Amino acid sequence: MDEVNVLVIGSGAREHALGFFISKSRSVRKVFFANGNAGTLLDGFESIPIEVRASNYGRLAEFALEHGCITIVGPEEPLANGIVDTFDAKDAMILGPSKSASMIESSKAYAKEFMQRHDIPTARFRIFDDPEAAKDHISTLDGGIVVKADGLAYGKGVIVCSDKDEAYRAVDTIMNERIFGAAGEKVIVEERLYGYEASFICLSDGRSIVPLASSQDHKRLYDNDHGPNTGGMGAYSPNIMLDSNDIVYKQAMSIMRKAIDGLRSEGREFKGFLYAGLMVCNDNVYVLEFNARLGDPECQVILPRLNSDLLEYVKYAIDGDLDTLGPMEWDERKAVCVVIASEGYPFRYEKGKVIEGLSSNPRNDSDTFIFHAGTALYNGKIVTNGGRVLSVVALDHSMRGAIEKAYGKVSTVRFDGMHYRRDIGVKALIDIDSR
């Protein structure tokens, strides 16, 4: 493959990791970010002065064409707003699904009905645009209930309820208080499934699929899966409960196959990373949600384990030739990511806290990394600039070793009010011991 530049769209730890690992490709000349963060600058990448908003998608496409860039989109919002459609109209190379294909994430109502149409197993559900009708339905249910905002809520729009009163409050929070804004115009009320969760991501060119390494997210804010849902407080890879069970793995692959084929059959050909949040109940696999991009923080534990050339797979996916490549090759080491967040996240939090203990990531082989999310440069210092601030990642031949290395690295970072879970990866140790 000829040498190219790469433009990464996004400013989170997922995007920082994407840019960092794709820069190791033998075919990459330079990596640009729109717009990056303090960490991408610290690692020597260039942030371009074009803000990522819908009115600027044309300018971003022109920049990519002028600089010979392949563009990779990290976050969900630009995909949902049609950035890929704008790039495609200008013949600028970009990896990501179109606006219509991104509806599998941007509308949970569409996604649930899509799964129903294409025989993809998911929890029983009803969709409501009236809060009182939703509450009336809840009053007829028994057992655990989940209430979801229809639109994009950055990983926070799912409220898991243990009883009807909690579900009533969830409907009010989403539809009347509009804590998630326009995303709460509709809600999905569904049965709560019980089992173990797994994150499963594939790369697709619209027809073929290549699975990535398995992983496990930690959505809840506090240890032992307590507290509200967040965008993700940590992750590990691989997920032994998925990888060691052929029955479950085959179901997961079947789900991804049905999703890609189903989207194409509805005129929504999907190119990019398709994420399935799965619940495994007695060896039966159900889809909790689909995302139209790499997960965050799953990306931060998957890419450090990838031995294949990521850019090569990206280019072939864009060109529709993914079936000509073999499977990706993976490092046998385990990876753990601990997310460090601002005090108050996922609700109100302060910005501008000075962060100490940071340096650039080593360019040679390493087993620890720090990827930035909510950070900025201010008066020559790195300060907090968001809810999730840093992703601390470590590799080791054992899961226990990866956990110890990750938390050892966390201990070198300091800022006022920093918060993180102290049990990331512990579930993996329990799973390993139970096999």
- For 304-317, how does the pLDDT look when each residue is reduced to its tens digit (9 = 90+)? 999 999 999 999 99
- Asked if residue 162 is part of any domain, the answer here is yes
Whether residue 434 has pLDDT greater than 70: no
- 74, 148: one domain: no
pLDDT at 31: 98
Structural domain that includes position 141: 130-185
- 93, 139: one domain: no
Indicate the residue among 77, 97, 117 that finishes a domain: 97
- Asked if residue 205 is part of any domain, the answer here is no
pLDDT at 185: 94
- 71, 150: one domain: no
- Asked if residue 310 is part of any domain, the answer here is no
At residue 396 the predicted structure's pLDDT band, cuts being 50, 70 and 90, is very high
- Asked if residue 104 is part of any domain, the answer here is no
pLDDT at 433: 61
How many structural domains is the chain composed of? 2
Answer for the pair 40, 19: CB distance below 8 angstroms, yes or no: yes
Whether residue 435 has pLDDT greater than 60: no
- 12, 88: one domain: yes
Indicate the residue among 79, 97, 115 that finishes a domain: 97
At residue 291 the predicted structure's pLDDT band, cuts being 50, 70 and 90, is very high
Whether residue 96 has pLDDT greater than 70: yes
At residue 270 the predicted structure's pLDDT band, cuts being 50, 70 and 90, is very high
- Asked if residue 27 is part of any domain, the answer here is yes
- Asked if residue 323 is part of any domain, the answer here is no
Q: Give the CATH number for residue 151.
A: 3.30.1490
- 135, 91: one domain: no
- 89, 156: one domain: no
Q: Give the CATH number for residue 66.
A: 3.40.50.20
Mean pLDDT of the chain: 95
- Asked if residue 428 is part of any domain, the answer here is no
Q: Of all residues in the chain, what percent carry a pLDDT higher than 90?
A: 91
pLDDT at 1: 72
- Asked if residue 204 is part of any domain, the answer here is no
